[in-house]
A = this chain, B = another copy of it.
Amino acid sequence: MLPDVQTLKPDIPVNLSKVGARGIKKLVMVTKGKGRPAILISTFDVFVDLKPTRKGINLSRSFEAIDEVIESLTAKPVRWIEELNLKIVETLLERHEYANKAEVYMVSELILRKRTPVSNYQTQEVVNVLCEASKDRTGDKKVFIGVEVSGITACPCAQELVKAKAAEKLLAEGFSEEDVKKVLSAVPVATHNQRGKATVKVQITDGFKVSIEQLIDIAKAGMSYDIYELLKREDELAVVEGAHSNPVFVEDSVRIMAKTAVEMLKDAPDEIVVFFRQENEESIHQHNVMAERVATIGELRKELYG
């Protein structure tokens, strides 16, 4: 019989909040209603808590839990990614009978097909899909599902500065105030713009669900315009014009995401927690600019509609 050091009592009777593994990569197949299944390379972090009654956890059980769930759910592909993760925490609790709580954090790279805005060419886009799930012995559970998307953001402040200066110049060259107004609404005026990254996470309950598609729509609502891997000349024009007619601060992006979520998730109970983050890779700085909001849907409803 091989010795089992983990089951010994530890010398130091201290509780542990989390014990587990980070960076476990697995192939997951997800089907969304009809259509061919999406293939995800998913990276999982899994944890359980530990009382001072044991020196260590049986780590291999954590991998068995994930593998077992993935294998059993791959036979008939997962419809909602959160089901997969909830099943994982439940299996973790079963397997680690000494644990009181289990947690899983998942990130997946999802490659989606989409079409270019004008030329209508087919192209692909990478979206990160996130899921966080935890459950304890009392049955209390918390599940979040989220996405990280890319887009272009154009700065409204610099654009106003450039417009003001251009107006001065045009007036000095003899254009009338009215003509200047016409010109500045006809010509897309320069500003700095950059790759932005939006993160949205929404809490899920037994009675309330949200789809990856909805999350992507919310996350992209805060951008100046969508971006594409393939752009023909007419598409590039559309992206640049579109972005410059819809300039946003990181602050605006988060507020727009918040408003879009409230409007889109009408059946979400007030206590649902939501998280929005916009981070812009500023073209005029070496650092990034970021804004964030964490709130319940109820709080946002009150702020928006009083």
> How many Å lie between the Cα of A18 and that of B166 in the bound state?
34
| Nearest-CB residue, chain B, relative to A119 | B60
Report yes or no: A3 in contact with B164, Cβ–Cβ below 8 A: yes
Q: Tell me if A59 and B241 are in contact (CB < 8 A).
A: no
Q: For residue A281, which residues in chain B have a CB less than 8 angstroms away from its CB? A: 194-195, 281
**Contact between B283 and A194 (Cβ–Cβ < 8 Å)?**
yes
A231 on the B face (CB < 8 A) = yes
Is A15 located at the chain interface by the 8 A CB criterion? yes
Verify if A96 is at the interface (C-beta below 8 Å from B). Answer: no
The residues of B that contact A45 with a CB separation of less than 8 Å are 290
B26 touches A228 (CB 8 A): no
Q: How far is the CA of A63 from the CA of B294 in the complex (A)?
A: 25
Chain A residues engaging chain B, CB cutoff 8 angstroms: 2-6, 10-27, 39, 41, 45, 47, 50, 52, 55-57, 59-60, 63-64, 67, 71, 109, 111, 121-126, 150, 152, 154, 156-158, 160-166, 169-170, 173, 175, 179, 182-184, 186-195, 227-234, 236-237, 239-241, 243-244, 249-252, 254-256, 258-259, 279, 281-295, 300, 303-304
Say whether A12 contacts B291, CB under 8 Å.
Answer: no
Copies of the polypeptide in the assembly? 4
Give chain A's interface secondary structure class.
Answer: mixed
Q: How far is the CB of A244 from chain B (nearest CB, A)?
A: 4
Select A290's contact among B21, B237, B243, beta carbons within 8 Å.
B21
Chain B residues with CB under 8 Å of A229's CB are 24, 63, 285-287
Q: Within the assembled complex, what's the spacing in Å between the Cα atoms of A293 and B4?
A: 24
Instruction: Assess the B286–A125 pair: CB atoms within 8 A.
Output: yes
Q: Nearest Cβ in chain B — how far from A250, in angstroms?
A: 7
